[in-house]
């Protein structure tokens, strides 16, 4: 056991030194567990001597750069310094930074330990202010980095920023990353409204991951924390979605009835769209295709009245499934095509990935085999990129039938191979 501990320490030191023999020597001299994360004082002193020789402007710049991380863009640094004309050429000549691209826009610290040592020199108040400004810079650029910077700034907006960041990741089917962001948001949230929204999103993500027991608990916690009918309506809809998957159809119907009473009373159009969409899904396993078409049609109408493009795309996908099962392939293809086009326009990656393979299948049934093959190949690629295995499987299934119809037997064999 002791030998394994020492080996882990040595491996950690070698990794952190990244080929620098001086840093490796100092890390090995301070290799006990208490020093595993901190920068050893000897390295801290060496770096401090180098930055003390900088003029005040460059010293402030390299400290601000350390807040941005090991890799950063010069425009972000200029924003933190409030100097649009600043170029870190002196920091490059002093071997603190190095350009990563010929354009001179992206820079790296020459060593991670240099960045860490400089970051550690910042006063807490200065560090928080720089992180806050970094969060501002990332507002319309990267919601995840914005949230992380606001977190380190101890900004009260951090929890809400993690909510937005989690939604952005979930929309791209990065569910594990989204769940981690939600959990961090919940750890920070002091505002009751933020906590409720984070709990509901947690339930939604867990539902999409197939963790139905955990999703049910998240939605139940949201229901227990709900402060008004509108919030209770949202939680009931989430619980109904979980119960549909766990085959508690009676429970799902009851939850939707409670949610609908609220949605109708307060004219909540988007919530009514979700309710009818779920009712359509409940009709599907019962073989009630007419009911499925009717409910998804009503969901589509409410979604359009609410101006909710995402709910409109979901309803179109539901209508496509119902038309497909009853054999209306041309109608089904039209629904799936409109769904995918709407998703492409608005960036609804999760819904697009789920419906594009069915667009390929129905296009093949409608007689456009080569066009369907192109759609199937695109569906496979996009599903693989986001890890949506079911959609990838359906895409391969569609591609197989297309290649078989085209007598592309070599391609057909390749399509059958697992990715």
Question: d(Cα 396, Cα 356) in Å, to the nearest integer?
Answer: 12
The Cα-based distances of 57 to 85, 243, 261 in angstroms read 12, 60, 63
Q: What is the pLDDT of residue 48?
A: 75
Residues of the chain with pLDDT under 50: 6, 19, 21-31, 33-36, 412-413, 416, 419
Which among 398, 362, 364 has a CA at the least distance from the CA of 378?
Answer: 398
| Pair 106, 98: CB distance under 8 Å | no
Q: What is the pLDDT of residue 52?
A: 80
Q: Looking at the domain that runs over 124-263, which CATH code has it been given?
A: 1.25.40.10
Q: What is the pLDDT of residue 5?
A: 53
| Pair 311, 273: CB distance under 8 Å | yes
Question: d(Cα 184, Cα 159) in Å, to the nearest integer?
Answer: 8
The CATH architecture to which 268-344 belongs is: Alpha Horseshoe (1.25)
Phi, psi of 15 (to 5 degrees): -65, -45
- Three-state SS for the chain is CHHHHHHHHHHHHHHHHCCCHHHHHHHHHCCCHHHCCCCCHHHHHHHHHHHHCCCHHHHHHHHHHHHHCCEEEHHHHHHHHCCCCCCCHHHHHCCCEEECCCCCCEEEECCHHHHHHHHHHCCHHHHHHHHHHHHHHCCCCCHHHHHHHHHHCCCCCHHHHHHHHHHHHHHCCCHHHHHHHHHHHHHHCCCHHHHHHHHHHHHHHHHHCCCHHHHHHHHHHHHHHCCCHHHHHHHHHHHHHHHHHCCCHHHHHHHHHHHHHHHHHCCCHHHHHHHHHHHHHHHCCCCCHHHHHHHHHHHHHHHHHHCCHHHHHHHHHHHHHHHHHCCCHHHHHHHHHHHHHHHHHHCCHHHHHHHHHHHHHHHHHCCCHHHHHHHHHHHHHHHHHHCCHHHHHHHHHHHHHHHHHCCCHHHHHHHHCCC
Tell me which long-range contacts 39-48 makes (C-beta under 8 A, separation of at least 24). 39/113, 39/116, 39/117, 39/120, 43/113, 43/117, 44/117, 44/120, 44/121, 46/22, 46/117, 47/113, 47/114, 47/117, 47/118, 48/117, 48/121
Q: What is the pLDDT of residue 38?
A: 59
């Amino acid at each position: 056991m002791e030998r394994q501990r020492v080996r882990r320490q040595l491996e950690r030191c070698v990794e952190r030194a990244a080929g620098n023999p001086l840093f490796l020597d100092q890390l090995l001299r301070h290799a006990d567990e208490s020093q595993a994360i901190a920068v050893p004082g000897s390295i801290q002193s060496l770096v401090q001597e180098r930055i003390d020789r900088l003029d005040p402007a460059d010293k402030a710049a390299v400290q601000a750069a350390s807040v941005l991380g090991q890799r950063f863009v010069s425009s972000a640094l200029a924003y933190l310094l409030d100097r649009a004309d600043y170029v870190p050429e002196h920091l490059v000549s002093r071997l603190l930074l190095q350009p990563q691209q010929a354009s001179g826009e992206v820079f790296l610290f020459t060593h991670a330990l240099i960045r860490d040592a400089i970051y550690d020199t910042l006063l807490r108040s200065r560090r928080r202010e720089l992180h806050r400004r970094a969060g501002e810079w990332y507002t319309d650029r990267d919601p995840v980095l914005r949230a992380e910077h606001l977190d380190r700034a101890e900004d009260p907006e951090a929890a809400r920023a993690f909510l937005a960041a989690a939604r952005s990741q979930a929309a791209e089917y990065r569910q594990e990353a989204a769940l981690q962001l939600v959990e961090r948001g919940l750890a920070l949230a002091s505002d009751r409204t933020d906590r409720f929204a984070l709990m509901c999103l947690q339930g939604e993500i867990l539902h999409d991951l197939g963790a139905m027991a955990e999703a049910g608990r998240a939605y139940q916690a949201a229901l227990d924390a709900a402060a008004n009918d509108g919030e209770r309506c949202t939680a009931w809809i989430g619980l109904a979605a979980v119960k549909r998957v766990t085959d508690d159809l009676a429970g799902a119907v009851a939850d939707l009835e409670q949610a609908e009473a609220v949605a109708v009373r307060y004219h909540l159009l988007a919530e009514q769209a979700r309710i009818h969409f779920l009712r359509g899904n409940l009709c599907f396993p019962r073989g009630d295709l007419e009911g499925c078409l009717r409910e998804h049609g009503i969901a589509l109408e409410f979604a359009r009245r609410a101006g909710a493009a995402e709910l409109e795309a979901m309803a179109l996908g539901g209508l496509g499934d119902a038309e497909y099962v009853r054999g209306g392939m041309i109608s089904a293809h039209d629904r799936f095509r409109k769904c995918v086009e709407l998703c492409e326009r608005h960036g609804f990656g999760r819904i697009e990935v789920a419906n594009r393979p069915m667009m390929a299948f129905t296009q093949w049934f409608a007689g456009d085999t080569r066009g369907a093959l192109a759609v199937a190949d695109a569906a496979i690629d996009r599903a693989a990129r986001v890890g949506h295995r079911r959609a990838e499987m359906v895409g391969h299934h569609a591609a197989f039938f297309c290649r078989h119809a085209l007598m592309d037997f070599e391609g057909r064999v390749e399509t059958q191979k697992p990715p």
